[in-house]
Amino acid sequence: MRHGIYWRDTEAVVPGPPLRQDVACDVAVIGAGYTGLWTAHFLKQADPGLSVHLLEMDYAGAGASGHNDGFVTPTIGHSLHGVVRRWGPERAAEAYAAVGRSIMEIGRFCDKNAVDAELERTGFHMVATSPWQVRRLEHDRALAALVGTRSLPEIARGADARDVIGSPAILAAMPSGGALINPHRLARGLARVVTEQGAVIHERTRAHQIYQDGGRYRIRTDHATVSADKVLVATDAYQHTFPMFRRASLPIWSYALVTEPLTDAQLARVHWPRREGFVESRNFIVFGRLTADNRILFGGGPAPYRPGRDMDESRWIHDRDVERFLLDAFHRYFPVWTDVRVSHSYGGCIGVTRDLVPHVGRHRTGLYYAHGYCGNGIATTHTASKALRDLILDRDTPYARLPFVASGPHREAAFPVEPVTRVGAKALSAVLALQDRRPDLLRRTIV
């Protein structure tokens, strides 16, 4: 079993050279994940003459965009429940409609630009493995009606649910739309298209400091300085490394296992005819999907916070306790696959905000930002990037007025300083885990 990210094995990357000479541009983007790349794409589409430079400390797609689990979800932030509670049903419906459009457009983008992101338009199912989780599905179905979902999903129960995915653990299943992709290939394909459009990506170029000088922004990197009229900080889970966003978001670790490719005989043991992904309806979700080469990706479970916002991949890419939890859950879902070997076990950081929804806008320093997708960013980054395009080009459009977009400088709820954050994260995590184990003790949906 390797403690490395499976997706990185599906397409080799040779990072480009670091920036060595000072450059001046109209828009500088820090971070070449989906947010930075889609924003560059939409800006170049809107105004091909605009000079756009992206600074990426590693390679395009090295962050969460290249190693997420590939569920293109319509979910915004942590949950539908949280979004409706925060924004109300009408505003939530506007945001959901926009993200729904993004899901379709990502598919069209891949077709049009020959990006082989192994897209499967199968979507995924929310599943329940206990009566309490069935009630959560019913609650989510009622919320989906409130946000105007056109064809309200039916909840399949018992044998009908296992007709979708033949796992003995599943009691009920509800379709949730969306798609499955290879995230790394989407990021790399998008980087290629953005480069063809004339944007410049400087890989192995870390932004150390952003400051203002003579009416322009300057970004100090290892070997050169970039000056720009406008700057977007698009580093999501790394956003806290910039002083002005220090308390805006927290990196939380999320883990997954990937098996060796299943043989036809192994595959035939589980009825899974349409290859949809599934996500178990609990606080610390458990999820599974097939990859294009018929591996099972199985992930979720406890999502730890590392004190001091530690994101060191060499230390935390593997977590023995979470791995044990996931192996147990995998065998509970698929007891006929005890002979299936795990080839990869790894984790990465999601960016979480205090109110569990993403935030997009212009900071009082004048910097543009987007962060806090809370583990549901593949489609939402696409929508957020349209909003960023319109904010940067100073256009008042429906995207610039979506509920997660701040039209002027605003203060989002900040996390407290350490050690309060560490203690608070640990306490909340314990309560959420307890509710997953003993829902009878605490019936209210917390997050």
Ligand X SMILES: Cc1cc2nc3c(=O)[nH]c(=O)nc-3n(C[C@H](O)[C@H](O)[C@H](O)COP(=O)(O)OP(=O)(O)OC[C@H]3O[C@@H](n4cnc5c(N)ncnc54)[C@H](O)[C@@H]3O)c2cc1C
User: Under the rule (CB under 6 A), what is the footprint of ligand X?
Assistant: 30-36, 55-58, 62-65, 67-71, 73, 206-207, 234-238, 241, 254, 348-350, 373, 375-378, 381
Q: Which residue lies nearer to ligand X by CB, 266 or 381?
A: 381
Which residue's entry shows tokens 């990869």? Answer: 344
Residues 398 and 260: their CA atoms lie apart, in Å, by: 45
Give the Cα separation of 82 and 358 in Å (integer): 12
Smallest distance, Å, CB 55 to ligand X?
Answer: 5
Give the list of residues 6+ apart from residue 336 with CB closer than 8 angstroms, or none. Answer: 269, 270
> Any idea what the Cα angle at residue 298 is, between residues 275 and 338, rounded to 5°?
90
Q: Shortest distance, CB of residue 238 to ligand X, whole angstroms?
A: 4
Residue 258, strand partner residues: 297, 344
The nearest distance, CB 212 to ligand X, in angstroms, is 18
CA distance 426 to 351: 17
Decide: helix, strand or coil at residue 188. Answer: helix
Nearer CB in complex with ligand X: 266/316: 316
Nearest to ligand X by Cβ — which residue?
377
Q: Between residues 377 and 403, which has the closer beta carbon with respect to ligand X? A: 377
- Residues shown for the chain: 447
- Compute the least distance from the CB of residue 254 to ligand X, in Å: 4
Which residue lies nearer to ligand X by CB, 171 or 255?
A: 255
Please list, residue by residue across 261-282, b when 16 or more beta carbons sit within 10 angstroms of its beta carbon and e when fewer do.
bbeeebeeebebeeebbbbbbb
Least distance from ligand X to the Cβ atom of residue 237, Å: 6
Which residue lies nearer to ligand X by CB, 235 or 283?
235
**Smallest gap from residue 71 Cβ to ligand X (A):** 4
Angle between helices 34-46 and 183-196 (to 10 degrees): 30
Q: What are phi and psi of 245, to 5 degrees?
A: -115, 15
Residues 6+ apart with CB under 8 A from 412: 248, 353, 354, 355, 359, 406
CB of 131 to ligand X, least distance (A): 27
User: How many of the other CB atoms lie within 10 Å of CB of 285?
Assistant: 18
Give the residue with the Cβ less far from ligand X, 266 or 353.
Answer: 353
Task: Name the residue nearer to ligand X (CB basis): 55 or 248.
Answer: 55
